[in-house]
Amino acid sequence: MTLSVGIVGLPNAGKSTLFNALTSAGAQVGNYPFTTIEPNTGVVAVPDPRLARLAELFAPPKVIPATVTFNDIAGLVRGASRGEGLGNKFLGHIRECDAIALVVRAFEDGDVSHVEGGVDPLRDIDVIELELQLADLETVSKRLDRAEKTVRLQREKAVETIALLQRVRDHLDAGNSVRTMGLGPGERDQLRDLWLLTGTPLVVVVNVSDDQAASGGVPAAIATRAQQSGGEALAISARIESELAELEPADRDSFLADLGIEQPGLERLARLAFGLLQLNTFFTAGEKEVRAWELRRGLTAVDAAGSIHTDFAKGFIRAEVCDAADLLAAGSYLALREQGKQRLEGKDYVIRDGDVVHFRFNV
């Protein structure tokens, strides 16, 4: 399963600096609009202390974390929904992502220009959300026009589809994002092929100064604005994170301590992105390999088996399941079984976060 987060924002908000720190991929950084034209892509490991402890227990030659792919997408400008800047090309790149990390600038720096003329993160959120809403409104309106024609041909479910599209259109027309509609699973499925931008999970990343980063908190007004859009907010100094990425692991803790920062912002962002995508982590663990796997919440053992290999799902017999905490406390599978804490589950078992699973299958 490839899960991706698009890093978006106005030009010079710090998107590429943040991306470089996340991935050490060396995306170009510059003080002018559209430094990034084609999206840069990097894969980021999701920090998980359970994986590290399982690796210590089994000491395998391979330890593989769960990952999230981040895409550094070109800066947005006013009028993007009408084709300004990179326009539809930019919006198309966002539609390919599972979640959006919206970077807004909250630091003052006379050497770094701002496309809107001054620093105002609330305005920047409004600008970007408006452009995404306008793009979605156009998409929904076109589909609604087609649906209203098909109802005259008396096709099945056309009336139900029209009612849903009208609700979405009116919600967008009132200046709201689709993610705040509280749609049910069936309704989301009906809208899935529209790839609505404002229906995509959102985290607002506030790019703050060094002093603001030490406080760790998101300004209340920005946190409230993110919630109004159906998202969450996180404060990070992209400059600090980029410096941190260049240090040796042994030096990072002391660097953070000197700045009064408890945890790297990028670790918090990776975890938050993982949560936004409604993911659980399950593990496979043994002497050859310890690995973390990402799986959508609510999916079953046979889905988990298929995410590893299609043959596992086709020939699924059963899953041997335990909780990572129980396995770590027991110290071995043998001791775990003696304690009666390893279960046999069928294909309909819903995978829980922290499950350690061994699949039995027959090809």
Is 280 labelled as part of a ligand binding site? no
- Residue 66 and residue 2 in contact, taking contact as beta carbons nearer than 8 Å: no
H helix and E strand count, the chain = 15, 12
Torsion of CA 91, 96, 100, 106, to 10 degrees: -40
Is 319 labelled as part of a ligand binding site? no
Look-up of token digits 């859009």: 229
d(C-alpha 73, C-alpha 95), whole Å: 11
Is 184 labelled as part of a ligand binding site? no
Q: Report helix, strand or coil for 273.
A: helix
Q: Compute the chain's Rg from CA coordinates.
A: 23
Provide the angle, in degrees to the nearest 10, between the axes of the packed helices 121-152 and 87-95.
Answer: 80
Q: DSSP letter for 229, please.
A: T
Report the half-sphere exposure of 113 (CA within 13 A, side-chain side). 9
- Residue 261 and residue 214 in contact, taking contact as beta carbons nearer than 8 Å: yes
The one-letter code for the residue type at 118 is: G
The one-letter code for the residue type at 136 is: D
d(C-alpha 302, C-alpha 316), whole Å: 7
Is 12 labelled as part of a ligand binding site? yes
d(C-alpha 134, C-alpha 129), whole Å: 9
d(C-alpha 196, C-alpha 300), whole Å: 27
Is 16 labelled as part of a ligand binding site? yes
d(C-alpha 230, C-alpha 62), whole Å: 39
Dihedral angle sign, alpha carbons of residues 209, 212, 218, 224: negative
- Of residues 321, 331, 332, 326, the one with CA closest to residue 355: 321
- Residue 54 and residue 41 in contact, taking contact as beta carbons nearer than 8 Å: no
Task: Name the binding residues for ATP.
Answer: 12-17
Task: Name the binding residues.
Answer: 12-17
